[in-house]
Structure 1
Amino acid sequence: MVNISIALDGPAGAGKSTIAKIIAKAKKLTYIDTGAMYRAITLKILRYGKNVQEEQIKKILSDSKIDIDGNDIFLDGKLVTEEIRKPEVSNFVSHVAKISFVRMKMVELQRKIAANKNVIMDGRDIGTYVLPNATYKFFLTASIDERAKRRFTELKEKGFNVTFEEVKNEMEKRDKIDTEREFAPLRQAEDAIVIDTTGKCIQEVVDEILYYLK
Structure 2
Amino acid sequence: MYRMIAYKSLKNSVDLDSTIEVVKLLDLVEIDMKDEKFYVDGVDVSLSIRTPEVTAIVSKVAAIREVRVKLVELQRSISKGKDVILDGRDIGTVVFTDADLKIFLVASPEERAKRRVLDFKSKGIDESFKDVLSEIVRRDEFDSNRKESPLKKAQDAVEIDTSFMDIDQVVGVISELVRERR
TM-score (norm 2): 0.94
1:175 paired with 2:147, answer no
Q: CA deviation at 1:50?
A: 5.9
Identity of aligned residues (%): 43
- State the AA in 1 paired with 2:99: A
Partner residue in 1 for 2:119:
154
For 2:58 and 2:14, how far apart are their aligned partners in 1? 11
135, 152, 165: which one pairs with 1:187? 152
For the structure 1 residues 50 and 175, does the alpha-carbon distance in structure 2 shift closer, same or farther, using more than 3 Å as the test? farther
For 1:50 and 1:164, how far apart are their aligned partners in 2? 29
Partner residue in 1 for 2:38:
73
Other structure's SS at 2:87 match: strand
Q: CA deviation at 1:115?
A: 1.4
Partner residue in 2 for 1:34:
none
The CA deviation string for residues 89-122 of structure 1, in whole angstroms up to 9 with x for no partner, is 0111111011111011000000011212111111
Partner residue in 1 for 2:22:
57
User: Where in structure 1 are there 5+ consecutive unaligned residues?
Assistant: 1-36
1:42 paired with 2:6, answer yes
Contact 2:14 2:22 in 1 (8 A): no
For 1:211 and 1:192, how far apart are their aligned partners in 2? 15
Tell me whether 143-152 or 201-210 shows the greater mean CA deviation.
201-210
Partner residue in 1 for 2:50:
85
Greater fraction strand? 1
For 1:212 and 1:164, how far apart are their aligned partners in 2? 33
The CA deviation string for residues 175-209 of structure 1, in whole angstroms up to 9 with x for no partner, is 01110110111100000001000110111111111
Q: Matched residue pairs, number?
A: 178
Partner residue in 2 for 1:113:
78
Other structure's SS at 1:140 match: strand
Runs of 4+ in 1 over 2 A off after TM superposition: 47-52
Other structure's SS at 2:86 match: strand
The CA deviation string for residues 136-192 of structure 1, in whole angstroms up to 9 with x for no partner, is 111000011000100011112212121110000011111011101101111000000
1:96 paired with 2:57, answer no
Contact 2:90 2:150 in 1 (8 A): yes
For 1:171 and 1:83, how far apart are their aligned partners in 2? 18
Tell me whether 46-55 or 180-189 shows the greater mean CA deviation.
46-55
User: Where in structure 2 are there 5+ consecutive unaligned residues?
Assistant: none
